[in-house]
Each structure stands twice: as structure tokens, then as C-alpha cells.
Amino acid sequence: MSASGSPVNSRLPSLTLPKKSESELLIPFAVDDVLLNSSLIQHLTVAAKDAALLQGILMRTKEDPASSETICYAPFSLFPSPVPTKLFTQAFEVQQDFNVLVDKISMDSEFLRRALASTIEADEFTARLFDIYNQVLQEGITQPITLGINRSDYMFDKQRGQAVTLKQIEINTIAASFAGLADKVPEVHRHVMNVWGKPQEAAKIQSNEAAKGICKGIAKAWQLYGSSEAVVLFLVERVPMNIFDQRCLEMELWNRNIRVIRRQLMEIYERGSLDEEKRLHIDGYEVAIAYFRTGYSPDDYHSEECWLARLMIERSLAIKCPDIATHLVGTKKIQQELVRAGVLESYLSESPEAIERIRATFVGLYSIDKGREGDEIIAKALEDPESYVLKPQREGGGNNIFSEELKQVLLSIKDGSKRSTYILMDRIRPQAVKNYLLRSGAAVKLKECIVELGMFGVYIRNCNKMVMNVCPGYLLRTKSTEFADGGVAAGVAVLDTPYFI
């Protein structure tokens, strides 16, 4: 049972995790052995790229990001990367607890108001989101059904002299992406291992059903909406370079006989409307679910009309994924507030085990708001900038600040109100692995890398009853240690598959 008392899944589809001792090295097979055999690497690389294209692991190109006339494989690793079984299982088991926690916080307007007060004053983007939240609260929540699709991201922390541990980087409550492409990577890695002549290793690579699980949640929410003619609306950016990841979800829903339409926020403003019952209509379609794949960055609101469109959606009867409250729960400031003593207990008091599971993934998170607490942690970070990460209230990857740049930013903001737009986090020291990263136009070289594990969570609440709470799958991303920040869409990380050790 979950922390909310609702039924939950006990394992990932087709997932049978091997048992290994913690003392084993984080090397699944001898990658170093093939370092000198360039012809073998070239052979495997060609096989891997062709397999990726056949599987549909695709992205549009930076040269023509608005067109599918010219496409390329999405960046991925040549080999699956080692992941400790124990830590993968820990991330999987805690995801349903995070689902419950996110949902409960989204219903606590007093906590959101108090926790975000300083950020709202200093950050215009968060303030605009909160204005919409306030208006929705004043008018009254129209739709009692909540659909959450989130992703909690982790690294494997290896502090000096200590065992490797699972530590959370962040939780994404809006536009959690790459489930569609991540599903397809295991088959490519199985093929690579077979071509290499390692069928036993190929057989150990587990499948991933994140996209199917997410679509199962969307389909269930669509069914609860109660209109077979209503559609699922994908809200998308103006230039969707990662369109094929979205298309994977769309096709799965179409296969379930659920119509999907794609629109931009500006199009909602221009052609959308609410009827007397606040049902959302666009181009003759009634919208059952508004699924956001955009709207998490200030750049997504390029005009005032985009903000009005977001307000229209939030006021409507459509099921929002996420609704504005859940969007706010995903801010870095809320993440920082969760580590304070007593906060988890106030939401999960009925499940001490869930509190323990969640807290075990936390690293130090600190407010740098004006006051003694903020001044003290800023002083520590200025003295030792390598031990911290400065995180702004932004999503999408590539926003975090490290090392000397962290020091310079702190010096520039420490005497002003802008400091409330950031939080500080203890820097994770991830365990390094070796792999070849395949990216269009880039040389194939053995790199020292770090991996980042994301667990997808899907939940549905109908009024006060949780009717779905699952962890359907995962996203593994790998990047060279030469980069401190950035994801797949940012051109830094690549898609990967766990090889359990």
C-alpha cells in the first residue's frame, strides 16, 4: 500500500532485478578491453546507430528544428551503463511516496503561499504563476480530478570513504520528458551486446515501459472525465525539436482510440473558449485533458496572450497535467522547504516508512533568503564554492551554477532581493563510469561519464481518493564528466539503459 492507503504496483513490468553485493565494481563488462580495438568500436557504432533509427529513437536537427524532413537519431550511449541494483530498487520504491507527497502539498494553499512568499517577491515568473493560482482559488476549483505525471531525478553519490548512495537532484512536475524514447533504448543495447558476441549480457538488459504506463494514466483520467468525444490536448512549444518523444505518447493514446490534438498556448488564446459549464473548447473539440509539454520556462510565455491562455486552461473543467498548484510544487524553493524538520511529517504522518524512504534520498538544501540563515550559508558557499550548487527557479536543464561562477553570482546578489530566486544544494559527487557517447557529427571516444536516473510517477486523485499511484518506468541519462549540467535536449547528456550490478 502507498502512503495514502491506495493500491500500488509492486514491480516494474517484466523487471526481475539480480542480486549483487555492494562491493562489486561499477563495471558491467570490460569496456576497457575494446578501447584499443577501434575497428570493433566502429562496427558496433554503425550497428547501434542503425538500430536506433529502426527503433525510432529520433530527434529533429538543430539546423532545422521545426521540420521532420531532416531527422537524426537522438544521442545515446553505445553500451548500457552500470547501475547498482539496490539503488535502482530504492528509487523505484520511493516514487509512489513522492507521488503522494506532491499531491498532498498541491492541496495545501497555506503552505504554498508561505513557502513561496520570498520567491514571489523576487521572481516575476513564479509570481505570474502564483497569480493564476490565486485566481483559481478565489473562483473555486472547477475540476476535482487531478492527473500527475512527474519524474524524480537522482545521482549515485560517492563521497570519499563512503558507500555509493542514491541522492535526489530534483523532482519535475511539469513536462517530464523522454519516456517515449527511453522505452526504445534497451532494444538497441540488446542488439549491440548481441553483435558484440555477448548474448548473456544482452539477456540481462531489462525492458522499460514508461511511455505505456504514462499513457495508461492519461487514458484513465480521460475515462474519468466522462465524454468519449472529448480529446487529449498536448500543449507544445513553438519549435518542438523533441517531437518524436511526444509522438510516442500520442500514438499510444490513438491506439487506445483516444483522439489527441496538438496546440500552442497562443492558439488556445486565439481560438479557445469556455462554455457556461467551463468546458474548454478549441477548434470544435472539447478538451478532456490538457497535458503540458511546455509552459515551464519564461520563454514559453512570449506574449501576454500566452498567460491569458494558461489562465483559461486553469479555469476550465479540463483535467490539467499538471494543474497550476502541482506546477508550483515542482519549484526549487518547495524542494528546499521539504528538508526542514517536520515538513514531511505534516503530510505523511500515517506512514513513517514513507518519510524514511523519502528523507534517505535528500541532500542538504538551503534557503539563501535575507536573514541570518541565508547569510550564514552564503558565507559558507563563498568560502567553499566547490561543495555547493546554486539552483535558480527554472526547469529544463542547463540552469544550475557551479564553482567559480557560483561564487561570482552569489557575490553579485547577496545584498539584494534577487537572492530569493535561488537555493543552494550540497554538491553530489557522482560515481564515474566509462562509456562511448554517440551524438550526430561527434567523434566516438571513450569518456569518463556520470549517470542520472529518473523515475517516472503517475497518479490520479478523484476528489480526495487516490485511484492510481504507480511508477511505470525510468529514464537513464549519461554525460561526460567535462559537463557539470545539462540534459539530452540541451545537447549534453545522452539516453542510456541500466545494466544492473
Q: Which of 60, 212, 279, 332 is catalytic?
A: 332
Whether residue 172 lies in the annotated active site: yes
Q: Which of 60, 86, 151, 357 is catalytic?
A: 151
* 299, three cell numbers: 520563454
Whether residue 396 lies in the annotated active site: yes
Q: Are strands 285-292 and 231-235 parallel, antiparallel or unpaired?
A: parallel
Q: Which of 60, 190, 247, 391 is catalytic?
A: 391
In the chain the first and final C-alpha atoms are separated, in Å, by 28
Q: Is 76 exposed, middle or buried (0-12, 13-18, 19+ CB in 10 A)?
A: buried
CA distance 315 to 143: 9
Angle at 350 between CA 347 and CA 352, to 5 degrees: 90
Q: Which amino acid is at 120?
A: I
Q: Which of 56, 396, 398, 486 is catalytic?
A: 396
Whether residue 395 lies in the annotated active site: yes
Q: Which of 86, 167, 170, 420 is catalytic?
A: 170
* CA-wise closest residue to 495 among 145, 58, 90: 58
Q: Which of 152, 177, 208, 367 is catalytic?
A: 177
Q: Which of 184, 333, 419, 477 is catalytic?
A: 477
Q: Which amino acid is at 417?
A: S
* Cβ-based neighbour number of residue 409 at 10 Å: 17
Whether residue 477 lies in the annotated active site: yes
Whether residue 49 lies in the annotated active site: no
3 state SS for 286-334: EEEEEEECCCCCHHHCCCHHHHHHHHHHHHCCCEEECCHHHHHHCCHHH
Q: Which of 99, 172, 242, 400 is catalytic?
A: 172
CA distance 220 to 222: 5
CA distance 312 to 265: 10
Q: Which of 237, 252, 337, 395 is catalytic?
A: 395
CA distance 258 to 93: 31
Which three-class secondary structure state does DSSP give residue 223? Answer: helix
Whether residue 177 lies in the annotated active site: yes
Whether residue 332 lies in the annotated active site: yes
Q: Which residues are catalytic?
A: 151, 170, 172, 177, 332, 391, 395-396, 477
